[in-house]
Structure 1
Amino acid sequence: MTEHPGEAAPAERNVPAATRPATGTGGGQDRRETDEGLEELPPNLTQAILEATKQVASLLKGAGHPFALAGSVAVYAHGGPGNLQHDADFCILPEDADTVAATLRDAGLEVYTPPEDWLLKARCMGQDIDLIFELARQPVTRELLGRAEELPVESVRMPVLSVTDLLASLLNAFTEHHCDFGAVLPIARALREKVDWSRVRRECGSAPMPDAFLYLLERLQVISPEDDDRGGRP
């Protein structure tokens, strides 16, 4: 596998696309006719990302690769905010990385290895695709993929990370250098009724940044305070 020429490497490690700042437009553009001829309209980036997501998912399903949709498109599939501004993320098993890459290359997609050692990248229909085999510094496992839910992304059904795993991955990605609560807060608000918050606390709450975010959710009354022997937080 070769590195993609001219591709800027993301600064954050294991940061889901749902929390990364937008880096451009991309995608196909519609046109409208004016007195001066055809004029390009601003690209519908959300639709372009969804079309690329459906194409890649269909290829992975057809080849029998275990996978689950992650990131901002997974949030969208679960009913969360739908203003997509980033790439599409797919979780795959580490041992399947080479065969997944071969499947996509055989279908005519460009697949390349970025400097980061936890994912592969691809291009589909002008959009970036992340093929992640280490999510929030933890290897993708069959257990994680087994908890995925079969959901439609427009007209194509595909496995999507469970809401609880999705929120846990977003919180576990917080670090001292990347801790954008503002990006994750609307996701937590929109999906709060579907999340097993007790499991999120068990898996994330011992780290200071996720714990601070959970406390913020409590203060904003997005979630209830944790019940423990002390009657909650002091």
Structure 2
Amino acid sequence: MPSSSLHSPAGDMDGDPTLAFYQDVLETLTQADIPFLVGGAYALSYYTAVVRPTKDLDLFIRRHDAERIGETLRHAGYTMETPYPHWLAKVRANGDLVDLIFSSGNGIAEVDDAWLEHAPKAAVLGVPVLICPVEETIWSKAFIMERERYDGADIVHLLRACSDRIDWHRLLRRFSFHWRVLLSHLTLFGFVYPAHRNMIPSWLMVELLDRLRQEALAQPTGQPICAGTLLSREQYLVDVEEQGYRDARIHPLGNMSEGETAIWTEAISRKQ
């Protein structure tokens, strides 16, 4: 079972200005009664007891709460910017950073009311908070497959630690027509932990494999589409920029505009 009280993966709070900043942001938003969830390394530690250093604090918020959160934190003396309007804002203080996340870099994992409804409660840095639900944590991490970052190990650890508490039907609904991505991670789980394959419900594997079988027997139709851009913002640019494939991130296929993908692509050189 997860711990009900978390400290920073970076260590002891005493005399640490970064952790004091994180704590103050959590307390400020809590006192303002603005809903938010803690994710990132803190959520991973909560569910799996895997503790690792983190360079920032990830808070997940609903998009329509962003303006109010910005006003609240600016009143508290912090600066806030929104470099990527389709998914992320940043709060800064003396070189330290809190990410305010309302979607995902590919535009898929939008934070909605269900994130809050299914969130467990814990204490982070001594502040009572909500933790991102394990289902949404898996969903948002599942698409991170960059050359420099792949969250597959996080997902495998989450599956092992939480298999008995995951709402598998809700997780399947979250992936919707991106179910192949879910199947890929569930398949890898069985490879990583062959003695624990039964942690994944058999009905779910049968359902996904039946979908795969049906697709294998059917002829693909429609225009060439590259969904690789949902997994990596960089590694499939050649497909959509030079080889004539439609970008699965862009309306009406996805949730992003051409302008948003351009901003996200331009940031590759800065590794942001």
3-state SS, counterpart of residue 163 of structure 2:
helix
* Amino acid in structure 2 at the alignment position of 1:67: F
Residue segments in structure 2 that go unaligned for 5+ positions in a row? 1-8, 211-272
Q: Quick one: higher RCO (CA 8 Å, sep 6+), 1 or 2?
A: 1
State how many pairs are aligned. Answer: 190
* Amino acid in structure 2 at the alignment position of 1:123: R
Root mean square deviation, CA, Å:
3.1
Please state how far the C-alpha of 1:175 moved relative to its aligned partner. 5.2
Name the CA distance, whole Å, in 1 between partners of 2:141 and 2:174.
12
TM-score (norm 1): 0.67
Distance 1:95 1:201, change over 3 A: closer
* Amino acid in structure 2 at the alignment position of 1:128: L
Residue segments in structure 1 that go unaligned for 5+ positions in a row? 1-43
Determine which structure has the larger helix proportion and give its number: 2
TM-score (norm 2): 0.59
1:127 is aligned to 2:96: yes
Please state how far the C-alpha of 1:131 moved relative to its aligned partner. 0.6
3-state SS, counterpart of residue 194 of structure 1:
coil
* Bigger Cα displacement from structure 2, 130-139 vs 99-108: 130-139
Name the CA distance, whole Å, in 1 between partners of 2:187 and 2:156.
12
Distance 1:231 1:69, change over 3 A: closer
Please state how far the C-alpha of 1:100 moved relative to its aligned partner. 0.5
* Amino acid in structure 2 at the alignment position of 1:139: E
* Aligned position for 1:57: 26
Please state how far the C-alpha of 1:213 moved relative to its aligned partner. 0.6
Q: Is the 8 A contact 1:205 1:211 kept in 2?
A: no
1:78 is aligned to 2:63: no
- Map of 1:120-199 to 2, 5 A cutoff? 120-124=89-93, 126-135=95-104, 137-171=108-142, 173-174=143-144, 179-199=150-170
* Bigger Cα displacement from structure 2, 62-71 vs 193-202: 193-202
* Amino acid in structure 1 at the alignment position of 2:69: V
% identity of equivalent residues: 25
3-state SS, counterpart of residue 108 of structure 1:
coil
Name the CA distance, whole Å, in 1 between partners of 2:98 and 2:154.
20
Name the CA distance, whole Å, in 2 between partners of 1:205 and 1:95.
24
